[in-house]
Amino acid sequence: MSTATPPARSRAPHRTAALTAAAVTGALLLTGCSATSSSSGGGGGDAGSASDLHALLPAQIRSAGVLRIGADLTYAPIGFKAEGGAPDGLDVDLANALGGLLGVKVQFSDVPFDRLRLGLQAHEYDLVMSGMTDNPQRRDGTDDQARKVNDGLDFVDYFVTGTSIVVAKGNPQKIAKLDDLCGKTVALQRDTVQAVLVERQVGACQKTGRKLTVTETETDDQALALVAQGKAAADLNDTPVAQHAVKNGRAGGQFQVVGPELQVAPYGIAFAKEDSALRDAMVKALDQLIRSGEYDKVLAKWGLGGGAVQSAVVNGSF
């Protein structure tokens, strides 16, 4: 996660995919949204109705009438499965609202987070909306040493958040900051910005002679379970997810957040580099959703209004 953000109203208290459809961990999940017209104002001559926005979509999406979205639905309150298995969460509600403006239905594929990018670049879905942080490495397709490892992605930024340290309730290992993790074990979901952050901390801990051990898991619930069981001192995850775990208890334990929020950056809707037409249509739809006030209503529903952005930004983090 990078330290820069797109313009935001205020600040509030992440994630690559299946090479084949068989690797998708859940069946396709369909959520319908009817086409709607917006009478909201706004400058710049942006499209003002669902029919206008629909015309901006690539032909194959207009013909299918469906926008296919890859998401890891294990990350409440951002994206998860409600009772009965239906997709739910901030990203799901925003996607449905955007689909309505674009005049298409929204269809979710439930995919492990560390496989989302590959599935997107293989065109198994049209975009990824899964609490994925927009950062230079994901945009440029580079690793932490700036080596080119894939074709990279484009992002339309839509929400701002940071990373929090989650520990067992009562903070038995007295964690207050990253340096307190030296000499201990940390659990976290693989291929996230938190994994990169902790890898850097591993080097810092080595200089002190106190090894930081990292256990990477497929889901954040698995990481939280290790904290609850005393097998890890802490889990690092996105602040809304951390706060949800504290409020609701998850993975068989009770938790608390310690220390300051780290590395604030935007979530972005992710697109393959060649899908610029779809990306640009989504920019207009998101801007219209923001102007209409529906965007704020969705964030308020999940108690996440502090992460609101003022407008859609393409590749805004640095």
The pLDDT tens digits for 216-238 are 999 999 999 999 999 999 999 99
User: Residue 8: pLDDT above 70?
Assistant: no
Question: Does residue 294 or residue 33 have the better pLDDT?
Answer: 294
pLDDT at 69: 98
Q: For residue range 29-86, what is the model confidence (pLDDT) as tens digits?
A: 444 443 333 333 333 334 456 679 999 999 999 999 999 999 999 999 999 999 899 9
Dihedral angle sign, alpha carbons of residues 256, 262, 264, 267: negative
Same fold across 21-160+266-314 and 162-263: yes
User: Residue 28: pLDDT above 60?
Assistant: no
What CA dihedral angle connects 137, 140, 141 and 147, to 10 degrees? -80
Across the chain, what does the average pLDDT equal? 86
pLDDT at 123: 96
By the 8 A CB rule, do 290 and 156 touch? no
Distance of alpha carbon 141 from alpha carbon 155, whole angstroms: 13
Q: Which CATH class is domain 162-263?
A: alpha beta
Over range 13-31, report the average pLDDT: 38
What is the CB neighbour count within 10 angstroms for residue 198? 22
pLDDT confidence band for 206 (50 / 70 / 90): very high
The verdict on pTM exceeding 0.75 is: yes
Distances (CA, A) of 17 to 25, 58, 114, 211, 287: 10, 22, 6, 32, 28
Domain coordinates in residue numbering, the chain: 21-160+266-314, 162-263
Respond yes or no on whether the N-terminal peptide bond of residue 260 is cis (omega within 30° of 0). Answer: no
pLDDT at 33: 40
Distance of alpha carbon 293 from alpha carbon 25, whole angstroms: 34
pLDDT confidence band for 298 (50 / 70 / 90): very high
pLDDT confidence band for 253 (50 / 70 / 90): confident
What residues are paired with 155 via a beta bridge?
A: 270
Counting DSSP H helices and E strands in the chain, the numbers are 10, 13
By the 8 A CB rule, do 262 and 292 touch? no
pLDDT confidence band for 179 (50 / 70 / 90): very high
Q: Which fold has domain 21-160+266-314?
A: D-Maltodextrin-Binding Protein; domain 2 (3.40.190)
Closest CA to 259 of 280, 234, 240: 234
What is the CB neighbour count within 10 angstroms for residue 147? 8
pLDDT at 18: 32
* Span of 49-53, 113-117, 313-317 with lowest mean pLDDT: 49-53
By the 8 A CB rule, do 159 and 307 touch? yes
Over range 250-269, report the average pLDDT: 93
